[in-house]
Amino acid sequence: PKTDIVFLKVHKSASSTVMNILFRFGEMHNLTFAFPIGGGNQLFYPRHFLARFVEGFSPSSPRRFNILCHHMRFLQPEVHKVVSSSAFYFSILRNPVKLMESSFAYYKGASAFSRVRSLEEFLRQPYHYYNPTDGDRHYARNLMTFDFGFNPDGEVSAERVKLMLKAIEASFDLLLISEYFDESMVLLKEMLCWDLDSVVSFPLNIRDSSTKSPLSDTVVEKIKDWNRLDWEIYTHFNRTFWERIDRDIGRERMQREVKALRERQGELARTCLQGMGSVAPKHIKDSSLKPLQHGSARILGYNLKQGLDKETERMCRRLVTPELQYSSALYKKQFAQNFP
């Protein structure tokens, strides 16, 4: 199994669920994480990543970490300084239309969104609200482009798009697609030589459907247009994703693998969860399992079954622990000597 991994955690793209998979694998195999200094949950985002943002990194004795997976704005030469040169790089993409709808609910406080009542209103005259010099502008435009380290306000010429896609292809071994999450996990498992249980997950950091709004065709087209760079990235790598499946796995085997993954997920839900699924924040009984609530989104969580034996309880708890709590527990474990 591969143990040196860089995951670019793209915002609002099922990346918290992927992060939970990496946290669990790292914890089970005693791997080290490149944590933000002080144990925060972002590597000084939205600044471009620098090696010195990592706790325990020092240029004089460059220490290599196994897994780098916290939010960052990608800058490969700096990433190279903290992980092994043979590390496996991957990320996950989401349809920019859904991504923007999600970003609007989640980052309603961002300067571009704070003065509008709806996404439709914003898109009617985006430049009335959007200022390219605002420090949080990226939440409102080409968010994936920004996370990959590029300029979200760059011109959309064929030449520039080609260079951007080439740069991403040169840096990353695999790009997953969140709309095909189970297929993505099967592909990831193949590439990392992991077993099925390592990529099983319950969806984390997801919104209650009552806060999701359906979008008209006109709005969909406006979103694509406004996020043209993201749209180019997404359509390109959605295509290469399926090409890779056809080349490396084949559709039939993929169907079998996805079925096995879903069955195992169902089995674990029956073992671990009260009521089999996610619940609204107010119904989460164990406060240590409550996810952070943000913007106008209502983030769902889980209740564990009572009376599980110790080993099962530990396994189940890992599956449902929200990102911030899990990250902080792993940080304390890794830097135990810093916590008297």
Residue 128 to residue 122: CA distance in whole angstroms: 8
pLDDT (average), residues 219-244: 98
Q: Which of 50-54, 165-169, 295-299 has the lowest mean pLDDT?
A: 295-299
pLDDT confidence of residue 298: 85
Angle at 224 between CA 18 and CA 101, to 5 degrees: 55
Per-residue model confidence as pLDDT tens digits over 110-132: 999 999 999 999 999 999 999 99
Rg (C-alpha) for the chain, rounded Å, is: 20
Q: How many other CB atoms sit within 10 Å of the CB of residue 56? A: 15
* Domain contains 72: yes
* Domain contains 50: yes
Helix (H) / strand (E) element for 327: namely helix 323-334
Per-residue model confidence as pLDDT tens digits over 40-50: 999 999 999 99
pLDDT confidence of residue 205: 86
* Domain contains 58: yes
3-class DSSP string for 111-132: CCCCCCCCHHHHHHCHHHHCCC
Total domains in the fold of the chain: 1
Confidence (pTM):
0.96
Q: Which of 6-10, 202-206, 262-266 has the lowest mean pLDDT?
A: 202-206
Q: Residue 334 pLDDT > 80, yes or no?
A: yes
CATH of the domain at 205: 3.40.50
| Closest C-alpha to 176, from 233, 255, 226 | 233
* Domain contains 60: yes
Per-residue model confidence as pLDDT tens digits over 139-169: 999 999 999 999 999 999 999 999 999 999 9
pLDDT confidence of residue 223: 98
* Domain contains 156: yes
* Domain contains 340: no
Residue 280 to residue 315: CA distance in whole angstroms: 22
Q: Residue 182 pLDDT > 80, yes or no?
A: yes
Which residue reads 């693998």 in tokens?
257
pLDDT confidence of residue 211: 72
- What's the pLDDT band for 206 if we cut at 50, 70, 90? confident
pLDDT (average), residues 226-233: 98
Structural domain containing residue 134: 5-335
pLDDT confidence of residue 275: 86
Q: Read off the amino acid at residue 258.
A: V
pLDDT confidence of residue 294: 78
Q: Residue 20 pLDDT > 80, yes or no?
A: yes
- What's the pLDDT band for 339 if we cut at 50, 70, 90? low
Per-residue model confidence as pLDDT tens digits over 239-279: 999 999 999 999 999 999 999 999 999 999 999 999 868 99
Per-residue model confidence as pLDDT tens digits over 69-96: 999 999 999 999 999 999 999 999 999 9
Residue 251 to residue 230: CA distance in whole angstroms: 27
- Report yes or no: 199 and 185 within 8 Å, Cβ to Cβ: yes
- What's the pLDDT band for 340 if we cut at 50, 70, 90? low
Average pLDDT in the chain: 95
- What's the pLDDT band for 209 if we cut at 50, 70, 90? confident
